């Protein structure tokens, strides 16, 4: 066998046309591999940028409600993006959120994944513990919707005539949109538009506990980015405007 291989090798070295064919084949193989390698690198970079903030700042239902219930005693105001982290409308916000969070006195932003539901259970079967930790019931989602719908609609009307806000054009619909950015604030930072005649913030029925809860929703956007071509800069501009005020004048 070694003699046969030696003869083949000598023939390959002494045959000019075969060397040319071999060289062309190597060049073609290199050229064809450039695009897949480039695409793979680009996708890896994009995935890393999307997940850096979104994946590291998630809340489940109990964590969110604990923060809401404690907001008056702790004074720790915060914001949440409700939505599907796998969707571009949410994942593309990550870079801009990073830029915003680096600013002085920025408001902490968390993510609530509204796709972790019984209807999508099969999607998370490979990690049952993860699913059980983050899952949301229909009642949970409806509570979020009912507690934020009026706040969004009032801000939507206000944004039309105020250049310091991002124009909100979408209808809130019949279920919680993705994304929905909600700013949770103490009672004294919530506009009178969302309070009753006695000056108390309006409550919403949480059917999971059958109790009326002050959700502390001071402001809601569904359009977060300013217009333009740069997702990071546009998101930063939108967040700066969103957190500029929660007062409707």
Q: What is the pLDDT of residues 27-59, one digit of tens each?
A: 555 555 565 555 544 454 555 544 478 889 999
Which burial class, exposed, middle or buried, applies to 91 when counting CB atoms under 10 A from its CB (0-12, 13-18, 19+)?
Answer: buried
Residue 17 DSSP SS3? helix
Residue 216 DSSP SS3? coil
Q: Two tokens at 53? A: 């903030």
Cα angle, residue 84 at apex, residues 50 and 86 outer, rounded to 5°: 40
Per residue in 64-101, pLDDT (tens digit) is 999 999 999 999 999 999 999 999 999 999 999 999 99
Torsion angle of C-alpha atoms 58, 75, 240, 236, degrees rounded to 10: -20
Residue 108 is given by DSSP the state P
What is the value of pTM for the model shown? 0.80
Per residue in 161-206, pLDDT (tens digit) is 999 999 999 999 999 999 999 999 999 999 999 999 999 999 999 9
- The domains of the chain are located at 2-48, 57-242
- Do you find a cis peptide bond into 179, omega within 30 degrees of 0? yes
Q: Two tokens at 220? A: 């809601």
217-221 and 211-213: which strand pairing?
Answer: unpaired
């Amino acid at each position: 066998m070694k003699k046969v291989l030696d003869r083949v090798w000598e023939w390959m070295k002494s045959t000019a046309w075969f060397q040319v064919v071999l060289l062309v084949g190597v060049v073609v193989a290199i050229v064809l591999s450039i695009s897949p390698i480039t695409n793979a690198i680009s996708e890896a970079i994009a995935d890393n940028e999307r997940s850096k903030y979104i994946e590291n700042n998630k809340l489940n239902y109990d964590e969110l409600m604990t923060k809401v219930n404690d907001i008056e005693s702790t004074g720790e105001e915060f914001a949440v993006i409700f939505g599907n982290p796998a969707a571009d409308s949410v994942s593309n916000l990550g870079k801009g959120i990073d830029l915003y969070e680096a600013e002085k006195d920025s408001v902490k932003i968390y993510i609530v994944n509204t796709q972790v539901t019984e209807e999508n259970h099969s999607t998370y079967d490979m990690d049952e513990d993860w699913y059980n930790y983050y899952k949301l019931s229909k009642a949970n989602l409806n509570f979020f919707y009912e507690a934020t719908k009026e706040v969004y609609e009032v801000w939507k009307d206000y944004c039309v005539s105020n250049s310091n806000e991002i124009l909100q054009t979408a209808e809130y619909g019949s279920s919680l949109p993705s994304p929905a950015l909600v700013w949770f604030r103490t009672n004294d930072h919530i506009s009178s538009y969302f309070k009753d005649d006695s000056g108390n913030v309006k409550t919403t029925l949480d059917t999971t506990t059958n109790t009326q809860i002050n959700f502390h929703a001071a402001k809601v956007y569904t359009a977060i980015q300013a217009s333009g071509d740069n997702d990071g800069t546009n998101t930063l501009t939108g967040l700066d405007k969103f957190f500029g005020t929660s007062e409707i004048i």
